[in-house]
Amino acid sequence: MTISNIIFIIVFLGALAFFGFKVKQIIANIKLGKAENRFDRKSERLKTMLRVALGQSKMRARPIAAILHMFIYVAFMITQIELIEIIIDGATGSHRIFQPMLGGLYTFTISLIEVLSLLALVATIAFLSRRNLIKLPRFVKSEMNGWPKLDGNIILYLEFVLVICIFTMNGADEVLHVRSGHESYGFAISSWMGPMFFGGMETTTLIILERVGWWGHIIMVLTFLCYLPFSKHLHIIWAFPNTYFSKLRPMGQFTNMESVTNEVKLMMDPNADPYAVPAVDPDAVPQKFGAKDVEDLSWVNILNAYTCTECGRCTSECPANITGKKLSPRKIMMDVRDRAEEVGAGKRKEGDKFNDGKSLLGDFITEEEIWACTSCNACVQACPVNIDPLEIIMDLRRYLVMEESKMPSELATMNTNIENNQAPWQFSPSDRFKWKDEA
Ligand code: SF4
Ligand code: SF4
């Protein structure tokens, strides 16, 4: 085993350990949320995951972006085969260990990887232009200033360098391979591109170039791995559990609280005997109505936040945002993730006594934002990974109304009327049929 193999093993295992450590922290942050049973209807959930996450069915609403995204996605999946070979080569000192074993299949696989990598390169350039040159409106909203913009670009730069490294490695290797008396590898792109760009170089230079491409490739992959937990690109992992656990009930159906439902039933039925209503299980009565902070949300809401790709499709379809209101469903998801990170880090440091005096509602999301929502579900429909910002907005509103009696004056009047008149209008129930006499 050479020193190079030892360095490789240390770097590789170090990156894996760091990634595992960060993912464990994120899972702990997701678990900050309240329990919710999303483990039912398993086959339906599996089908949803395969259709939405693996099949990318909701991406099709914007076909050009869907095709470009598909190039990167498929290239990412297939390149893992080459990555396995690189890892084995790096750890054992072999060179293209699969080539003699697989023969023609190897040539086909690497050729496929090269074609997909080229398409991924085209998609990467298109995505970079979309963000930085064309400045698509959904990528330049205020919540995308600073780190989110940089994050979107960093990952595209990494992809760009990664693809260049793949072609440098394969191209230089092709020339070295033929120069040492072997037949051409026959790869779809590097077998002609290599001799074209590197054919006139010294053998020593080619060896260095091949090693630079090889190490560059694996270092980009490991950098990507360590960077993922800090980036919106974590969606390449979370998209699968997120779609599996996504809401299966109809989009417009809200959750009810048993204690409140019983109260309403009593109020709406004049013949109801309050003592006949089954007593509410004291354990079923929530400690708090609605949500003020991330710990009041469900774990699914927090998983949603970590899955958000910050694509802005929700915000670009949101009628409140389109008409100039302060609300952006994408920002709601980003705020939930940022707050979960903050609370998670605080609890790891100070334990359950952690209290920074801040909360999701107020310090991250304002009342103005949540009251701008029309509850139309357009954001839920538009999200390519089945995220539900509306559920969070509704829980924040529920807290304001039921815990703090805070709501816009129009709603306050309506609620008072419902309470006093059993209808949203300012008429006594006894006057309800007066219109008939006046007609
Ligand atoms: S449900 Fe609310 S946040 Fe979502 S699109 Fe409609 S108005 Fe916007
Ligand atoms: S919630 Fe969905 S649609 Fe909105 S930015 Fe995140 S991933 Fe995109």
Pocket mutation for ligand 1, best pick of 247, 308, 326, 327 (most atoms within 8 Å of C-beta): 327
- Rounded to the nearest angstrom, the distance between the alpha carbon of 396 and the centre of ligand 1 is 14
Which two three-digit tokens encode residue 281? Answer: 């299980």
Quick check: 62 pLDDT over 80? yes
Pairwise CA distance, residues 403 & 423, whole Å: 23
Which distant-in-sequence residues (6+ apart) come within 8 Å of 25 by Cβ?
229, 344, 348
Atom of ligand 1 nearest to the CA of 375: 1
- At residue 292, the pLDDT reads 96
Is residue 274 very low, low, confident or very high in pLDDT (cuts 50, 70, 90)? low
CB 245 within 8 A of CB 303: yes
Quick check: 275 pLDDT over 90? no
Which two three-digit tokens encode residue 246? Answer: 């996504």
Which distant-in-sequence residues (6+ apart) come within 8 Å of 372 by Cβ?
320, 325, 326, 327
- At residue 281, the pLDDT reads 59
Is residue 379 very low, low, confident or very high in pLDDT (cuts 50, 70, 90)? very high
Choice among 133-142, 167-176, 277-286 with the minimum mean pLDDT = 277-286
DSSP 53: I
Task: Tell me which amino acid residue 356 is.
Answer: D
Q: Whose CA is nearest to atom 4 of ligand 1?
A: 379
The radius of gyration of the chain from alpha carbons, rounded to an integer in Å, stands at 28
In three-state secondary structure terms, 365 is strand
Is residue 288 very low, low, confident or very high in pLDDT (cuts 50, 70, 90)? confident
Choice among 196-200, 225-229, 242-246, 272-276 with the minimum mean pLDDT = 272-276
Which two three-digit tokens encode residue 75? Answer: 């290239």
Q: Please provide the CATH number assigned to the domain covering 288-421.
A: 1.10.1060
- At residue 433, the pLDDT reads 82
Atom of ligand 1 nearest to the CA of 380: 4
Is residue 386 very low, low, confident or very high in pLDDT (cuts 50, 70, 90)? very high
- At residue 437, the pLDDT reads 79
CB 127 within 8 A of CB 68: yes
Give me the chain's average pLDDT, please. Answer: 91
Percentage of residues in the chain with pLDDT exceeding 90? 76
Pairwise CA distance, residues 389 & 382, whole Å: 11
Pairwise CA distance, residues 157 & 428, whole Å: 66
Domain boundaries, the chain: 3-30+62-244, 288-421
Q: What is the dihedral of CA 336, 337, 338, 340, to 10 degrees?
A: 80
Segment 52-66 shows an average pLDDT of 92
Is residue 35 very low, low, confident or very high in pLDDT (cuts 50, 70, 90)? very high
- At residue 103, the pLDDT reads 85
- At residue 280, the pLDDT reads 55
* Burial readout 40-60 (b: 16 or more C-beta within 10 A, e: otherwise): eeeeebeebbeebbeebebbe
Segment 381-389 shows an average pLDDT of 97
Choice among 69-73, 366-370, 391-395 with the minimum mean pLDDT = 69-73
Q: Whose CA is nearest to atom 6 of ligand 2?
A: 308
- At residue 436, the pLDDT reads 80
Q: Whose CA is nearest to atom 8 of ligand 1?
A: 318
- At residue 47, the pLDDT reads 97
CB 75 within 8 A of CB 116: yes
- Locus of tokens 């005997």: 273
